[in-house]
Structure 1
Amino acid sequence: MAARYFEAAAHALAYSKFRPGPPASLISRIVNFLQEKYSGSLNSAIDVGCGSGQSTTPLAKYFANVNGFDVSEAQINEAIEKNNLNNVSYKVNPAETLPFKDASAQLITSCQASHWFDLPKFYKEADRILVQNGVLALYGYYFPHALWKDKDFHNFLISVYENDTKGYWTEERFDVDNGYTDRKYIIPFGECLREDNFFTETKATVRDLEGYITSWSGFQRLKTQKGEEAGQQILNNFVKRVMNTVGNDMKPEDVEVTLRYEFFLILGRKT
């Protein structure tokens, strides 16, 4: 059963606003890998652990039908609210029991979510649903580098993670830190490969970085256990450290940084 750590509406909203979508080059690579050995129509793609839909909508340009699933009703509600694509739909559903017939989908993806799954059951379900030469793609991203002029605020984010929210993360989070390099992420299909040469860059403000921290499951867990005030103090200290580095009278909402997210990708082909 997939873990449930993103249930609150406020958390879902933060996730929707402050989490990155995948690089176009990564999605293109997934589709190209599929089409290397699958020559049929691209009728169905499934995005599992879709959250608020950032990883789901990029599939719409390639597939006739795209379905996003997540165990969090709040996340799915957020995805539905912002969806404007006729060929994309969302539903609350666990990763391990998907509502599809055997050999009915060409692609199954999961972004920054498969560390929450019961992987043996999920792999079995993916094998059941995928057509011959269909593809399962697992991918994710590391903590971003936040670049401002010649400065990188990455270490400030890492400090919040390793110090301020220490003890409030589950062990699954460390699989992401390690880029899904544990053997359990070797997809048990006839063909499996890994690629690490993807990144995306977006513009954000220091205030947005503060919002990004609120989307962390560890931060949300700390706030639940220690209270809103404790969580706000962490955010205030983070903003103060960053603004001291900026060293002028600018406001956090006026300091624009470049966020660089580096992605890793694991591809498995059902043969």
Structure 2
Amino acid sequence: MANRFFEGAAHAAVYAKFRPRPPTSLAERIVSFAKETIFMSKNGIKKTNGSQGETLKAAADVGCGSGQSTEILSPYVEAVTGLDVSEAQVLEARKLNKYPNVSYKVSPAETLPFSDKSLSLVTSCQACHWFDMPAFYKEVDRILVPGGVLALYGYLFPKPIHESFGDELYSLIDHVYNKDTGGYWGSGRLDVDNSYSDGRFKIPYPEFIRDESHYVDKTATVAELTGYLTSWSGFQNFRAKNGDEAAQKILENFQDKFIKTLKVSTTPEETSIPLRFHYFLLMGRKPS
């Protein structure tokens, strides 16, 4: 049974507001790989053949949350379905959806509502560490067409970009993670920290690749960065166990230290900081 986090309506709204949108370069890398038809020529050299200008027919984004990772596929796929076990997350995604070729459904990762060999692409962003992976792989293999692609990806905690205080600022984020909320995370979070390097994330297809070259930069206020911390499952678990007052104290201490480290006199709402989210991407192709 997969773990279930991020399910409350309020948490879904926070998740939608503060979680990053994956970079265009990552979406294009996934789609480009999915469009390739790779074969061995007579002399043993790999070649590619395919219409990179055409859109894919159908794709699914599993563990879609509030839809940030689903909507990036819209320009490249005729029909995209985002799926999440949380009804609150799906309702939030539907509320925010602006794409006519994107739809959302409530579904666990291990039983997906698609017919056999019906999808060209299945993706999952920052979610599969909560799945029953053997059951998920079996289900993905059932619904992918021959040559179809499974792409698993995620991102690390944001690194503040500052010429003088970048490391000190990141240590404040790390303190909230490891110290303030350290005992309130599910074991799956360590898999994200390790960029899905555990063997169970090696997609069980002969053609398998890893790509860690993608990142997205986002400028946020210190108040918005603090809001991002509230989207963490560890923070939400701490809040549920210890109450709003204790949780608020963590946020206030973080903001105060962040502002002091920057040596500015502006408020958290008035103080902006560039953030860099590094992504890791794993892809495998079902044999033709």
For 1:89, which of 103, 106, 109 is the aligned residue? 103
| Deviation digits for residues 33-71 of structure 1 (CA, Å, limit 9, x no counterpart) | 111217486110100000000000010100110000001
Output aligned runs, 1:1-271, within 5 Å: 1-37=1-37, 39=50, 42-148=56-162, 150-152=164-166, 153-271=169-287
What secondary structure sits across from 1:64 in the alignment? strand
What secondary structure sits across from 1:43 in the alignment? strand
**Could you tell me how far 1:189 is from its partner in structure 2?**
1.4
| Deviation digits for residues 155-184 of structure 1 (CA, Å, limit 9, x no counterpart) | 110010000001101111100000000000
**Could you tell me how far 1:144 is from its partner in structure 2?**
0.6
**Contact persistence 2:149–2:286 (CA under 8 A):** yes
| Matching residue's letter, 1:16 | A
**Contact persistence 2:35–2:56 (CA under 8 A):** no
What secondary structure sits across from 2:213 in the alignment? strand
**Contact persistence 1:48–1:69 (CA under 8 A):** yes
What secondary structure sits across from 1:267 in the alignment? strand
| Matching residue's letter, 2:27 | I
Aligned to 2:42: none
**Contact persistence 2:156–2:193 (CA under 8 A):** yes
Q: Give distance in 2, aligned partners of 1:206 and 1:187.
A: 38
Runs of 4+ off more than 2 Å: 38-41, 147-151
Runs (5+) with no aligned partner, structure 2:
39-49
| Matching residue's letter, 1:22 | P
Q: Give distance in 2, aligned partners of 1:229 and 1:149.
A: 34
Q: Give distance in 1, aligned partners of 2:152 and 2:263.
A: 41
Q: Give distance in 1, aligned partners of 2:170 and 2:17.
A: 19
What secondary structure sits across from 2:56 in the alignment? coil
Q: Give distance in 2, aligned partners of 1:178 and 1:17.
A: 26
| Matching residue's letter, 1:145 | K
What secondary structure sits across from 1:65 in the alignment? strand
Q: Give distance in 1, aligned partners of 2:199 and 2:245.
A: 40
What secondary structure sits across from 1:59 in the alignment? coil
- Most deviating of 107-116 and 239-248: 239-248
Q: Give distance in 2, aligned partners of 1:53 and 1:26.
A: 16
**Could you tell me how far 1:234 is from its partner in structure 2?**
0.3
**Could you tell me how far 1:246 is from its partner in structure 2?**
2.0
Runs (5+) with no aligned partner, structure 1:
none
Q: What do you get for the CA RMSD once the two structures are aligned? A: 1.2
Q: How many residues align?
A: 271
Identity %: 52
What secondary structure sits across from 2:68 in the alignment? coil
| Deviation digits for residues 91-124 of structure 1 (CA, Å, limit 9, x no counterpart) | 1100010010100000000000000000000000
**Contact persistence 1:148–1:256 (CA under 8 A):** no
What secondary structure sits across from 1:139 in the alignment? strand
**Could you tell me how far 1:149 is from its partner in structure 2?**
5.2
What secondary structure sits across from 2:76 in the alignment? coil
**Could you tell me how far 1:2 is from its partner in structure 2?**
2.6
| Matching residue's letter, 2:116 | D
What secondary structure sits across from 1:201 in the alignment? strand
Q: Give distance in 2, aligned partners of 1:54 and 1:154.
A: 24
Q: Give distance in 2, aligned partners of 1:10 and 1:187.
A: 34
Q: Give distance in 1, aligned partners of 2:218 and 2:2.
A: 30
| Matching residue's letter, 1:116 | W
**Contact persistence 2:172–2:258 (CA under 8 A):** yes
**Could you tell me how far 1:148 is from its partner in structure 2?**
4.0
